[in-house]
Structure 1
Amino acid sequence: MASEKTPNLGLNQIDRTSPKTTYFDLEKYLDQNWRSVDEFAGEVNDGVNEFKKRLDTTERKAVTLEPGLQIVHAEKAAPFSLTGLSGRTLVNLLGRMGSCETVSEWSSNVAIAIDNNNKTNGSSSFKITLGSVPATASASFLTTPGRKYIAIADVKSVNSSKVAISINGIAGAVGNEVNSGSVFAPSVVRFTAKEYFHIVTITGTGATGNTFNMDSVRVYEISDTDYAVAASLTPAQAAAKYPYVDSVMPVRNPYTIRYGENLLPSVREWVNNGGLTDARVVIKGKYEFSIMTTTEPQWRAAASVKVVPNTQYTLSATHDGLLGIYGVNQQAVIINGVTASSVSFNSGNNTFVDISLTNRLGVAGTFTGKNFMLNIGNIAQPFKPRQDSMLALQTDLYADPVTGANADTVFERDGQYFKVKRFESVLLDGSRITKVNNVVSGVGFKALYPVVSGVNYAFVGNGSAVKFDGKILLWGGQDTIADRWGIDANSPNFAISVPVSDSGWADSYPPTLDDIRAYFFGYKAYDANTLTPAQAQSATTATWNGTGTKYWVQRIGAPNFTQSAPQQSYAGYTPYQLVYQLATPTVEPIVFEGQLSFVEGDNQVEVGTGLIVREGSKPGQSNNQMWINGSLNGLGKLQFRTNKIFAVYKNGKNDNWSAIGHASDVIDVYGFTQAWIPLYKFDPAASYSTTYLTLETSPIVPFIGSYAANEKTLLADLVDSVQQNTARVSVLENKKADKDNPAWLTPTLLNGWTGDMQYVRLSDGLVVFRGGIRDGAVTPGTRLFILPVGYRPKNNMEIRLRTSDGANDAPNSTIIIYTSGAVLSQNNWYNKGAWFDGLSFLAEQ
């Protein structure tokens, strides 16, 4: 028989039945065998070394998550570790004008109309109808000669021939022409300033009666380096790098989300089309439903599912209808109804697609689908419910708006995120002004030097300021011209020059502390004997010179007025915002939620800003539903306008509320979405909170980090995570103990008052006082002290106190506690004793 080989190593064996076995072949039976053994040993050794490396050596894979949506390939399923996140600030020199909400702020050679149905920002765009000449809309802004700028506008030509942005007075400063009639596209122009102000103009060309839309107009000063880089950017790339913001905006609430392997949401979030009603839809589970249709095409769809352009995806489901896929951006059919259980497609130029289950053509009946799955790639994956992974940081991250230098940065330590804070932002309302060091009176303006509570020392010459109307204030020169500002490096003092048209103060009038506080609360002083509130509000000359009867009128909105010095601002008023660089950086912890992790293989990841995590919510009732952010006269409204509601939580757990959007589908929604739940599922004793994405836009920056690339690193990360979680649990337990036994706080008493009065907030939100004060100013309206955020009432409160003149008690004395935290005396007071024992109120949650 032939010579055989060993089964594992393939070594030659001697054929003992052959006469040739009397001759021993050294090459065959020794050398070849030894070479085989050695080769096997080498393979074993390589495998052992590789395995040893994976178990004994840590190895991480660096990854940068860029702004927007992207596909990230991970070699291992592992958590993401953040190593770099820096701030950025954009200062729109047009202030809030570029939002295209208010026509009066722009000049035009034709009438400008508000268009609420077409927009890229806010609630409207401008719709302009051409006359016999090209139509224009223009606005002016301040510049510095020799510096570099970029201007961008989102425009849609509709039926005009072309639309472009330009800068008046600079030859060649004309942006790219846009002739897209169905969707907005950016027109971009770079320029070097020649004067101290310039005019930006949007021009539409075509025939009389043609129309075009414009929105999100922004002008930014940029560095020489960025100016050179911008020359190579496409208009779309430039628009993405320099998004629209109102006035001054940092990186606000950055987040990154890894969407589930299944990119489709629960069918509860799908919407009906083609006349299909909820009564004809049966939801059988998170990923199963049936529809009862007529013979007309009717369908239920997952609307606007995010996808990466020019990427392969596969849709699969068990169904007896037709699966459809439609491009939202290109408004084109990708897959027009198939009976197959799975279908692959390319997203093309779309960033969103609609996924639907439709009845069969011309057939009435019941059609069912379940286990809907959309995954990356051209192979259908086994069904999994969607499970997203998220890291959200609740913070603002600033930087120098031109160079990007001295940026706020984020780092992680022991499972907690911290910010190296180099910039401070102050919302300056009257309650923060403790005194005024100086007032400089100029012709038509006054320079105010208020002392602001809670302000750290600054680095002079680096910052931004925004007026109440959104106008950008320039640095320095506040003693010579209006609408300038500065800050003292040696003490927490600001300087702001205020025009008479805003304050009402005559050049000869020295404003009091109450006057200055009232101004920063949003009010204008006037003589009620000679002017009506409406006349005073619109006047551009002095309305108060110190004689007559002083009233105050609201500077913004309706001309509502008050006879007494205002103690708080009002709805619709936005305080001055002052942003400045700190002399010495500080480190502070960041509120965050979640842990970003990757699955093995391809991951669809989004990086963005504006995610509000678990905002306390107070649902409102309408008929048999409870609503958050619905049209309920303010009930259930969220703090910011919403783009999307992610989840509503009941006592910290996802309560599976249904979400409805878009604005065109819902009347009077504060933003694009609202959430609801049947009344019988609502627990009035529970605490509710909402996680949502705001409509407000801010600059987006990359998340830089790494993930574990082998088993050793995964095990090390797991051990660290367990240790950190254990430490955090112990901290929470200690905090609970502190909450159960809260500390008494002592306020800073004002206007000469002294004493031992203290206050505390209990676990149920009740603020309780003890002790008393004495020996201060007794004039009605005197400020006693200011309560911090978290210790203020929801509504202004008037409360009686027991006071004394040293001989007699005065039981009818009262205080007023404002929602701003200011506590003031009211009516006649006696300063030999005021006792707060027993006073309490429920703080705003």
Structure 2
Amino acid sequence: MDYQAKTNWTYNDTVTEQDMNRIEAGLGDLHQRLDTPATSKLVLQPGTQTIQVERDTPFHLSGISGRMLLNLLGRNGNCESLNGWAFSGTAALNTSQFVTGTASIQITAGSGGGIMSRSVELKVGKTYVLAASIKLGTATGAKVSVTGIDNGSGVSSSSDFTISYMRFTATSSTHSIAVVLQATQGQTAYIDAIRLYEISAAEYSQLSSMTASQVDQMYPYTEGLAGVQNPYAIRWTSAAKADVAAMLAFDTELLAPPVPASDAERDRLEKGVDGQYYKVSNWCKVALTGDLSWILRTSSTGVKCVQITGLGQSIATTPQGYMTKYDGKVVKNDLGAIANWKTGDMWQLGDPSYSNLILSIAGSDSGWGDNYTPTADELKAYFYGWVMGTQASNGTFTVGYNGTGTKAWRGLVNDNGSGTVDVPRTYFQDQYEQPDWKPYELMYKRSIAINAPVPSEGNLSLVKGDNVIEIGTGLILREFSKPLLYPTSSNRYMINYIAQGGYANPLKYMPYKIVEVYRNNRKQQVNVGTTSDRSNWYGGVYIDDIPDYRPENVYSVTYLIQAKRPSVNFIASILNNEYAMIDHLIRDMQQTTRRVSVVENKKAENDSSDWITPTLLNGWVNRDVSISDPRVGYRKMNSSSTMELRGIILGGPAGSSILFKLPKSFRPAIHHFVPVLAYASGSYQPAYLTITPSGDVVANNVPSSVGWYILSGTVPLT
């Protein structure tokens, strides 16, 4: 009971034993509050919740653990294509009804009903959850199903997408999964975001008491190796969630196996004694793109094995980790002899140190014929999203090239064109143009866990009364962006525009909601929102009419991405008395002083990435790396906001020509001109490079008698 002070004493009042007991109890309570810290554990679950506290209090995060969802359907569950499914009735893509991507599959029941189904390979005795987002058209119901096992929960809404789900234990190595309509001929339903995950026995048990919305929150639709990416806790000013009151967010991904044997296998984020957040990282995740140095390892009938050396030391037993290919399907980890690999889609981290990645690729995927040896650049092209083939004189493209005819390339997915005869050195298409292609991904177990600092922003606190707290993932922090002038305006600037081909400035990931826009690191009020016009605005999200735009200003955006990632609990403690709060304040001051001291004494230099060696074009070659010349290269510096160039080259044509192409992450937002020197006729002469937003590095003003051309300079990427 709270202490009740008596404030109306008079001179003649008698002090009773009850008065003394009350006073002593108050003193004892005060002594307890000032002598012993009192805290209580707080578990914040994924989603939005209202937390009540009796007083303003700091929020002390104890930790966040890693998790991963691996959709066993690959990208066939995104319902952006009819490929991979069998249908009873008729099926078509519907671009006006969807929950993920840009389309759903509309099923129209025939005389035999309405069903979409496919076969999947599973592990006998293992437990799984199957779910799909369904919106009824004129059908009376729909549900997921596993043939020979059971049906899932039914869906009855025609106003919104809701999920049908079921848990099951595999009784065979192959099962048929389906979405089944309750419908008569001609009735319809829309299907999207189908996912199939292997789960633990504990998760299987928990599913029996979960609601459909809880299942949707716990098992969202994902693609590839989906870890806990950029977790956040936001306290909103109200339940409307329009304005941020306080926020704690992290720029990291916390990983784990799909079904961990123990919590020790999970990555974990914790606060160090210095106040910095750290990640205990058991896993390393790598995007296997054409930017890496691929070499051909072996070749056999229908299959070629490629390799990257020195990727990272892994463990010597399976599973070393997990890999998905460009279509999201799982690639098998096999530590057996590579000579015995007779099919594609196998990998290992092998050789003596378990650090060389070897991957088998079927000729039907790559287009590399049995009688053809692909070059280094042609290996890279595959990992940029291109398949090799033969182009006929009439322009017809046939997958596969064996060394005769016209060699050509076209996109691995959703490309029925005649292809290009030039070796591709960039990604097939930008992500906002081609959502169905993603690079291979590898997640491997480190031989020794590392402890690494994690960038974070904000500091969450709770206020007396109700606190609307949202826990989630996918918050991108302060991504730099260069506003562009709207094509038909002289003073209207925008961000996340994609309509004009190369004249576009989309955010890196498809956005779902803009949280904050910053100008020179200060919040700026701008016109943001969502629209059905997804052809002009990436993901249907706009940042428009940016006021008082100045090109010298630096703009950045904090936003939530549309792609779902698994969420986890935030385990925290709150402070319940004065001792705990004073102790917390003193520790925070000590940590802040220590971190400021480190910053003040650190050398004034920025970390730079490793040099990347490009493929030179148009006859240009490195001058002579046997003396002291550096190879032509580029790298990011200054916290990745600036690119640095180096090298000395010769052999190219006079005038203007492309030296090499930059990958998308190294391209500037606008054209940049870099002054350089050309050595010709015994003297140095001025020349310049043009760096374009499309990635061309162009040599200009090259003299006809050029001896060599010196690359040296920096390019801002924002």
What TM-score bracket applies, with the shorter chain setting the length?
0.7 to 0.9
Matched, 1:520 2:393: no
Equivalent in the alignment of 1:254: 231
Instruction: Give the secondary-structure state (helix, strand or coil) at the position aligned to 1:231.
Output: helix
For structure 2, the residue ranges without an aligned partner over 5 or more in a row are: 1-5, 616-621, 652-658
Match of 1:417 among 263, 274, 277: 277
Query: Aligned runs of 1:142-221 on 2, under 5 Å?
Result: 142-168=121-147, 171-221=148-198
Deviation at 1:721, TM superposition (A): 2.7
Equivalent in the alignment of 2:41: 62
Matched, 1:611 2:475: yes
CA contact (8 A) 1:432 1:452 kept: no
Equivalent in the alignment of 2:618: none
CA contact (8 A) 2:478 2:556 kept: yes
CA contact (8 A) 1:567 1:818 kept: no
Equivalent in the alignment of 1:450: 307
Matched, 1:648 2:529: no
Query: Aligned runs of 1:246-645 on 2, under 5 Å?
Result: 246-260=223-237, 262-264=238-240, 388-403=245-260, 405=262, 406-413=265-272, 414-436=274-296, 438-442=297-301, 444-446=302-304, 448-452=305-309, 454-458=311-315, 460-462=317-319, 463-476=321-334, 479-488=341-350, 490-528=353-391, 530=392, 534-536=396-398, 539=399, 543-558=400-415, 559=417, 561-571=419-429, 572=434, 573-622=437-486, 623=489, 624-630=491-497, 632-633=499-500, 635-645=504-514
CA contact (8 A) 2:674 2:714 kept: no
Match of 2:75 among 84, 92, 96: 96
Deviation at 1:57, TM superposition (A): 2.3
Distance in 2 (alpha carbons) for counterparts of 1:728 and 1:620: 38
Deviations 1:319-356 (CA, angstroms, capped at 9, x unpaired): xxxxxxxxxxxxxxxxxxxxxxxxxxxxxxxxxxxxxx
What is the alpha-carbon root mean square deviation over aligned residues?
4.2
Bigger Rg, structure 1 or 2 = 1
Deviations 1:37-61 (CA, angstroms, capped at 9, x unpaired): 4433332222122212222322222
Distance in 2 (alpha carbons) for counterparts of 1:118 and 1:731: 53
Match of 1:720 among 568, 587, 602: 587
Q: For structure 1, which segment, 815-824 or 101-110, has the greater mean C-alpha deviation from structure 2 after superposition?
A: 815-824
Distance in 2 (alpha carbons) for counterparts of 1:390 and 1:789: 31
Distance in 2 (alpha carbons) for counterparts of 1:454 and 1:786: 24
Instruction: Give the secondary-structure state (helix, strand or coil) at the position aligned to 1:388.
Output: strand
Over 3 Å counting, the alpha-carbon distance change for 1:390 and 1:736 in structure 2 is farther
Deviation at 1:761, TM superposition (A): 7.1
State the one-letter code of the partner of 1:389.
A
Deviation at 1:420, TM superposition (A): 0.9
Equivalent in the alignment of 1:244: 221
Instruction: Give the secondary-structure state (helix, strand or coil) at the position aligned to 1:183.
Output: coil
Match of 2:113 among 134, 142, 159: 134
Matched, 1:844 2:717: yes
Deviation at 1:631, TM superposition (A): 5.5
Distance in 1 (alpha carbons) for counterparts of 2:419 and 2:509: 27
Distance in 1 (alpha carbons) for counterparts of 2:291 and 2:692: 10
Over 3 Å counting, the alpha-carbon distance change for 1:822 and 1:664 in structure 2 is closer
Q: For structure 1, which segment, 696-705 or 478-487, has the greater mean C-alpha deviation from structure 2 after superposition?
A: 478-487
Instruction: Give the secondary-structure state (helix, strand or coil) at the position aligned to 1:122.
Output: coil
Equivalent in the alignment of 1:675: 543
Distance in 2 (alpha carbons) for counterparts of 1:631 and 1:544: 35
Equivalent in the alignment of 1:657: 526
TM-score, scaled relative to structure 1: 0.71
Distance in 1 (alpha carbons) for counterparts of 2:81 and 2:311: 34
Deviation at 1:520, TM superposition (A): 1.7
Distance in 2 (alpha carbons) for counterparts of 1:797 and 1:460: 51
What is the number of residues matched between the two proteins? 672
Matched, 1:120 2:108: no
Query: Aligned runs of 1:729-744 on 2, under 5 Å?
Result: 729-732=596-599, 737-738=604-605
Matched, 1:690 2:563: no
State the one-letter code of the partner of 2:410.
V
Deviation at 1:87, TM superposition (A): 0.8
Instruction: Give the secondary-structure state (helix, strand or coil) at the position aligned to 1:44.
Output: helix
CA contact (8 A) 1:803 1:813 kept: no
Over 3 Å counting, the alpha-carbon distance change for 1:786 and 1:126 in structure 2 is closer
Q: For structure 1, which segment, 42-51 or 685-694, has the greater mean C-alpha deviation from structure 2 after superposition?
A: 42-51
Matched, 1:108 2:94: no
State the one-letter code of the partner of 2:561.
T
Over 3 Å counting, the alpha-carbon distance change for 1:560 and 1:83 in structure 2 is farther
Over 3 Å counting, the alpha-carbon distance change for 1:768 and 1:577 in structure 2 is closer
Over 3 Å counting, the alpha-carbon distance change for 1:666 and 1:801 in structure 2 is closer
Distance in 2 (alpha carbons) for counterparts of 1:150 and 1:387: 35
State the one-letter code of the partner of 2:625.
W
Percent same amino acid at aligned positions?
Answer: 32
TM-score, scaled relative to structure 2: 0.82
State the one-letter code of the partner of 1:614.
R
CA contact (8 A) 1:508 1:545 kept: yes
State the one-letter code of the partner of 1:611.
L
State the one-letter code of the partner of 2:251.
Q
Instruction: Give the secondary-structure state (helix, strand or coil) at the position aligned to 1:411.
Output: strand
